[in-house]
Amino acid sequence: MSGSVQDNGQAASALGAIESAALRSDRFRLEREADWQRLEAIVRKMEKGRLRKVSDEDLLALPGLYRAAASGLSVARETSLDAATVAYLETLVQRAWFVVYGPRTSLAGWLRSFFAGGWSAAVRAIGADVAACFAILVAAVAAGWLLVANDPEWYFALVGREMAGPRVPGATPEMLRATLFDNADQNGLSVFAAQLFSNNAQVSILAFALGFAFGIPSVLLLVQNLALLGAMLWLYSGAGLTLDFAGWIAVHGTTEIFAILLSAAAGLHIGRTLAFPGPRPLLSAAAAAGQRAAVVMVGVVLMLVIAALLEGFARQLVDTTLGRFSIGGFMLVVWCAYFFAFPGTRRWREERAGEGGLR
């Protein structure tokens, strides 16, 4: 009998706790439901693109309503309110976050801003690293030349026997000239272009991605690829084909080498920022550097696509040194003008000023 009474007492206590929790949850919801409904109405209009139907009062109240809902969600979780209230608040806060803080630019809008000035501004923002990598590039080409000039065995260490093919020390001028001209009837140029893009993209992405190691791998990759160019330049120069080889490289190299230079500069920029973050906190400085470098790298991918097309088609189809220099020179002028002389469209500058500028 006493056991039955005790069980009844426990059941009544549990029932009372449940009723108390339900009342607490109802009271919590009733006290805040009006604000939640107002926030939900604003979010629904903005999600449907009906921003003009949102009143000024609602727009001004939106951040406060969002923070109140987020605070309510935190309280609801900590006090173990009913699951329906917690689920409702989670959905509402998530939707409101995208409205208040989420990106407002479509892909088309981002691309328009990218080409209208965002890309060139990002390159100029890492201008010191671009200049340093250009100096390294020149030194690497000179080093490659000097190494093979003093010991031709260095040629195979830099170029590799498979890549060299008939382009080896001791080859006759006629053999070397044949590698530069009369290749218009080659088949599978599109496949060749795709392979070149894949190889160059791999080098560029590695140069960028390894920048976190204080930029050292980025610089080493740049030296490796450009020392190879110096070795080949020495080979063709010895056969009296310096200009012909330069034209053969220029038709695509002014784009391809520029892209590799920018990717190494982007990696160096991140590494240099990690080593010397300046007055800003390290994480903040690294995030800003990563943002600038990422924008540069998006453009690098585009440059590599263009370089692969030039190398796979224009270099084979244009069989004169003058024509190749004309294409390569034109591309170099276009890139330099865009990166260093184009300040961005007026609309882009106005939008950038409104956003506080690229940090």
Do 212 and 147 touch, CB atoms closer than 8 A? no
Taking alpha carbons only, the member of 323, 309, 158 closest to residue 233 is 158
CA distance 124 to 254: 18
* Stretch 221-248: mean pLDDT: 91
pLDDT tens digits, residue range 174-211? 988 888 887 665 554 455 555 556 667 777 888 888 88
Chain center to CA of 229: 27
pLDDT tens digits, residue range 101-146? 766 666 787 888 899 999 999 999 999 999 999 999 999 999 999 9
Do 131 and 266 touch, CB atoms closer than 8 A? no
pTM: 0.70
Do 167 and 176 touch, CB atoms closer than 8 A? yes
Q: Residue 261 — pLDDT band, cuts 50, 70, 90? A: very high
Taking alpha carbons only, the member of 307, 312, 171, 147 closest to residue 224 is 147
Residue-level length of the chain: 359
pLDDT at residue 196, rounded to an integer: 57
Q: Residue 357 — pLDDT band, cuts 50, 70, 90? A: very low
Encode burial over 60-73: b for 16+ CB neighbours within 10 A, e otherwise: ebbeebbeebeebb
